[in-house]
Structure 1
Amino acid sequence: MNEMKQKAQVYITVAIIAVVAIIIIASSSFYVVDIKSQCVITEFGKPKKVVTEPGLKVKTPFIQKTKYFEKRIIEWDGEPSDILTRDKENIGINTWARWKIVDPLKFYTSIGTEDRGQGVLDEVIGSAVKNIVSSYPLNEMLRNTNRKLEYTTVELEKAEMDKKVHISHGRASLVGEINKMANEGLRDRYGMELVDVRIKHINYIPAVIPKIFDRMRSERIRIANKYESEGRREEAEIMGYMKKELEKIESEGYKIATETRGEADAEAVKIYADAYGKDPDFYSFTKTLETYEKTVDDNTRLYLSTDSDYYKYIDSFMEK
């Protein structure tokens, strides 16, 4: 009985060892490539083959090893950098990109890890951004086309037109040049490819901001001076027109008054003449009374000769 028990324990032990060995060999022989990954098989540290199709795969246990890489598009986010444009404007540019591994074997042999790939892109994209941005003026980086911008006032719109800003390439074209320059040799050297490169934002360096405000202030002052000059010119035109119209009105009024006075005098002379022709004595009497009224008051003393008209009328009045 003891012998049988011992044999049974030996069998069980052997079976357990065999199962463990099978599991170890199986785990070292089989590997899985999922749909979002790609794999490089190495043999004694040297790359043997590339597996890009998903599924359960088999390799030589203990000799071959797997190195997985991302098959999907990978994010890259750069650090802001200060760049001097062709027209000597210092700006800060922040970029981002998307890339992927197109040749896992070359990528593994040249770089090895995705983190190192990110480091390569830091240098490649940073260099391309600096080369392109420094080759163009600031307006090319800020605008895409020569389309007419919307302004709150006509003066600001005219001021923009007076600057004669012409966009020959535009921001989108410059970004395309950055992408092209950064992609040159990337596939052949590292097995990588840039899918897209974009500018996240452009900032003015603090030292440049006062200059921008000064230009804006001088532009507003120029517009204000233009308004003031136009106002003074219109004021002079209005005052000149008003003076001209006033002189015209006064002249016409004086003319009408003179004509009216002349007509009235003529009519009065005519009336006087008609009255004198009808009754000379009465006319003479009334004219004398008018003369009395204009020349004699309570404080007047008259010294008349006996042959004066005053005396004759007074004397004739006393006799009555």
Structure 2
Amino acid sequence: MSSKVAGIGAFIALILITVYSAAFTVGQAEQACIIQFGQFKGEAITKPGLYWKWPFVQEVRRLDRRLLTWDGSVEQIPTLGREFILMDAAAHYRIANPRLFLESLRDERGARSRIDDILNAIVRDKISGAKLEEIIRSSDWHVHSDALEDGTVTERDASMELAPRRGRQELEREILEAAQAHMPNYGIELQDVHIRRVHYIESVRQQVESRIIAERQSIAERFRSEGRGRSEEILGEMQKELQAVRSEAQRKAEEIRGAADAQVTQIYGQAYGQNAEFYGFLKTLEAYRGTVGPNTSLMFSANSDFYRYLESVRGR
């Protein structure tokens, strides 16, 4: 009886082991391939759930279906201007074809090694053919005039000589397109490539600092020159307006003086017409006032009009 129970227990255990070996699950972040004697069976499993395989003769190879990160090694690379920089790049990729991925690369370690070879070569090639300012600046780089000492110019004028022909984003796009051409052969979908950091060696750092200082001084001087030109323009317009005001004031003053002189002449004429003797006497008194001072000595002839009025006063 005991041997029969033991046999039933062994049979049940065998069934459980068989079921456990035949059943497997695929998680939300996983994808899997079934392999039998080194050959792939069926299509890759990309949806999560419970699945079955032949026990003991088939195995399951699981792969990550999430976005994976490639961290490039920091390399010293010369730019187009022969400045040596330390470049640190990164990329994101996804396993798009699990079967092709396993056939060509076997596992994720092999994939990282192959991505290293491809991306490092392309990054070195693209960086060595780019100028330093194209690596460290974006294509829409511009100068903010309010960050400078004084003066204002348009953004186009400020960035005309300093904006690179292509920026870091364009360089990253070129690297990505060149690398994407190789990835389908390995079942990999490359999402993006980023230049994370650019480190300068000492000699390049000094060159960059000197270039930045020279560029800022050039921009500041251009702003100052524009400011001085604008100042001269404003002063010229002000002088022009001031001269116009003065000319108008002088014209009106001359008109007023002319009208006053005409009125005075008219009054003198009326006075002369009413009493010529009184008019002559009044004009002589005005002449005395303008001629005779505290220390004035005058010499007249006996028949002078000046003397005539003085003589008549003394006779009285």
- The TM tier, using the shorter chain, reads 0.5 to 0.7
Deviations 1:30-75 (A, max 9, x none): 4334343223334xxxx2444545722224x4xx463523162451
The structural deviation recorded for 1:125 is 2.3
Classify the secondary structure of the residue corresponding to 2:22: strand
Check whether the contact 1:100–1:194 (CA below 8 A) recurs between aligned residues.
yes
| CA deviation vs aligned residue, 1:95-121 (integer Å, no higher than 9, x gap) | 22223173548736x644322322322
Correspondent of 2:116 among 113, 122, 147: 122
1:174 to 1:296, Cα distance in 2 relative to 1, 3 A: closer
Are 1:100 and 2:100 counterparts?
A: no
TM-score (norm 2): 0.64
Shift of 1:140: 8.8
In structure 2, what is the Cα distance between the partners aligned to 1:102 and 1:305? 135
Kindly report which structure 2 residues correspond to 1:28-177, keeping only aligned pairs within 5 A, or say none: 30-35=21-26, 36-42=31-37, 47-50=38-41, 52=44, 55-59=51-55, 61=56, 64=57, 66=59, 68-70=61-63, 72-73=65-66, 75-79=68-72, 81=74, 84=78, 86=80, 90=85, 92-100=87-95, 102=97, 104=99, 107=102, 111-136=105-130, 139=134, 155-161=154-160, 170=170, 173-177=173-177
Q: Is the 8 A contact 1:69 1:114 kept in 2?
A: no
Name the % identity: 14
Q: How many residues end up aligned between the 2 structures?
A: 287
Report the residue type matching 2:232 in the other structure: R
Worse-matched range after superposition: 251-260 or 217-226: 251-260
The C-alpha deviation readout for 1:112-152, integer Å capped at 9, x for no partner, is: 432232232222222233334444556599657x8x98977
**Contact 1:151–1:157 (CA<8 Å) still a contact in 2?**
no
RMSD: 4.8
Q: 1:208-246 CA deviation, whole Å, 9 max, x = no partner?
A: 763346424532332232122221233134324423542
Greater radius of gyration (CA): 1
Q: 1:182 to 1:216 in 2, by over 3 A?
A: farther
Closer, same or farther in 2 for the Cα pair 1:58/1:230, shift >3 Å?
same
Tell me the TM-score normalised to structure 1 length. Answer: 0.63
| Contact 1:95–1:197 (CA under 8 A) maintained in structure 2 | no
Letter in 1 for 2:52: L
Alpha-carbon contact 1:77-1:96 (below 8 Å) kept: yes
122-131 vs 206-215, which moves further: 206-215
Distance 2:108 2:95 in 1: 10
Which residue identity does 1:57 align to in structure 2? K
Q: Equivalent residue for 1:15?
A: 7
Q: 1:313 and 1:306, CA in 2 relative to 1: closer, same or farther beyond 3 A? A: farther
After superposition, the C-alpha distances for 1:156-190 in whole angstroms (9 at most, x for unaligned) are 2332346686569945752541332442xx63xxx
Task: Indicate yes or no: 2:188 matched with 1:194.
Answer: yes
Structure 1 position 264, deviation (Å): 4.6
Deviation of 1:252 after TM superposition, in Å, equals 1.9
Separation in 2, partners of 1:23, 1:223: 87
SS at match of 2:53: strand
**Greater Cα shift, 162-171 or 75-84:** 162-171
Q: Distance in 1 between matches of 2:213 and 2:300?
A: 97
